[in-house]
A and B are shown apart, each in its own frame.
Chain A
Amino acid sequence: MTPDERNAQLIAYLYGELDEHERQEMEAFLATNGEARRSLEELRRTRGVLGAWEDETPPFGLTFVPEDAAAGARRPVAWWWASGLGVAIAAVLVLAFLRIDVTMSGGTMTVRMNWAEDTPVTASSDSVLTENRFVRYQEAYLELTQDLIEASELRQRAAMIEFARVLEARREEDLRQIGQGVRNVGQIAERSYLQSGVLLTRWAQTRPSRRK
């Protein structure tokens, strides 16, 4: 065995990668060769220094395939099941929100809208909507609409008349109060004028004569 081959075997021994026979051979050689033992010990010490550099955690994780897409591709059955469940939950929520009760009894579907009146709207399989019936419904609907409009107009007209009457009464009252105010101001001014005259007369009578 050449020195290079011996060194190569020493490396394999150092890392525990010799088979059992090779390992025994190497240990026999080491037992009789002090230089080889020292070399092996130095290699171990060098490894010990290198081993002080511990692994580091990568600064960020890597994700190459969107997790949603990955999950979808991996579990198609679960996806469909979840989708169906989602639709069912949404339907229940809508029905709950609108407070609609749907019941089936004897071929009749009854839809009850609890937020309105407690009168159920019933549709049965033996009620047939004919053209005549549809026309009558439409006529009745138009007539009702017209009545509502007329009633609304009458109410609006009566409201306008009442509003005008109140406005006129308010205006007359305002004018009356303004007239009264003007009269009061006039009386006060007249009274002040008279009082001033009286005061001037008294002052003139009590004033000492300069001629004296």
Chain B
Amino acid sequence: MTEADLINAFKRGDRGAFNDLVRLWHPRIYNFVLRYAGDRDEAADLAQQTFIRAYSALSKLENPEKSLTWIYQIALNASRDAGRTRQRRPTVDVDDENIAAALGDDVLSRPDAVAHERDVRDLLNRALQTLPEEQRVVVIMKEYEGLKLREIADALDVSINTVKSRLYRVLESLKHLFERWCITEEMMRYDA
């Protein structure tokens, strides 16, 4: 069954279809809010809140074909609400010195795949958290969630040209950041 089939089944009263939708969406929504918020516990909580909101709003979804952008909108709104209401975590200005101090001299050089993966994750998480929120959302949706430019525009309720412009700016920003941190594509790969 497609997502649209499951949504229509839910609307006809098959509440169990929602479990199937959650199984489909949960991994990608979890990873979306994880990269947005940068914290696993918060991501798990935000994913749960997203589906709670989705459950009560699903019967009112008019176009099941656009359910993917719809669920991302809910996840983004839940993340933004949480960001506004929670006491802000102590933030760290991510500059070259902080990165060096946080990751140490042996960054990305440990002979352990798990440690390497953790370092990569921490590094990129820090990089994303340096971005303005509107740019961070765009790059996460495009690079990690694989949404089309049109879908991102729909989810954010902006024009497709705005999405392209933001993407260009965010990739330029990240390029300069990675240059300052001396991070290259080759360093990010783990070769046992």
Contact = CB atoms under 8 A, between A and B. Distances in A.
Nearest to B31: A55
B44 A47 contact: no
Nearest to A10: B168
A64 B51 contact: yes
A46 B117 contact: no
Given A61-B26, A73-B14, A74-B16, A56 B31 contact: yes
Contact of B188 (A11, A43, A49, A70): A49
B164 interface: yes
Contact of A73 (B16, B47, B148, B165): B16
A48 B22 CA distance: 30
A10 B16 CA distance: 44
B171 interface: yes
B30 A50 contact: no
Contacts of B188: 48-49, 52
A79 to B, nearest CB: 12
B71 interface: no
B26 to A, nearest CB: 6
A65 B23 CA distance: 12
Interface string A26-70: 000000000000000011011111111111111111111101011
A77 B143 CA distance: 46
Given A55-B144, A61-B26, A62-B51, A48 B185 contact: yes
Contact of B27 (A11, A55, A70): A55
Contacts of A15: 142, 149
B35 to A, nearest CB: 7
A42 B168 CA distance: 11
A58 B75 CA distance: 15
B34 interface: yes
Contacts of A57: 27
B26 A58 contact: yes
A67 B16 contact: yes
A144 interface: no
B69 to A, nearest CB: 16
Given A43-B171, A45-B175, A70-B16, A59 B40 contact: yes
Given A52-B188, A61-B26, A46 B19 contact: no
Given A53-B124, A53-B144, A74 B30 contact: no
B15 interface: yes
B13 interface: yes
Interface in B18-65: 18-19, 22-23, 26-28, 30-31, 34-35, 40, 44, 47-48, 51-52, 55
A46 to B, nearest CB: 5
Contacts of A64: 18-19, 22, 51-52, 55
Contacts of B137: none
B174 A58 contact: no
Given A10-B168, A49-B183, A56-B30, 4 more contacts: A15-B142, A50-B139, A61-B23, A70-B17
Q: 9 shortest A-B CB distances, which residue pairs?
A: A70-B16, A52-B188, A48-B185, A8-B164, A58-B30, A53-B124, A7-B168, A65-B15, A46-B175
Interface of B: 13-19, 22-23, 26-28, 30-31, 34-35, 40, 44, 47-48, 51-52, 55, 117, 120-121, 124-125, 139, 142-144, 148-149, 161, 164-165, 167-168, 171-172, 174-175, 178, 183-185, 188-189
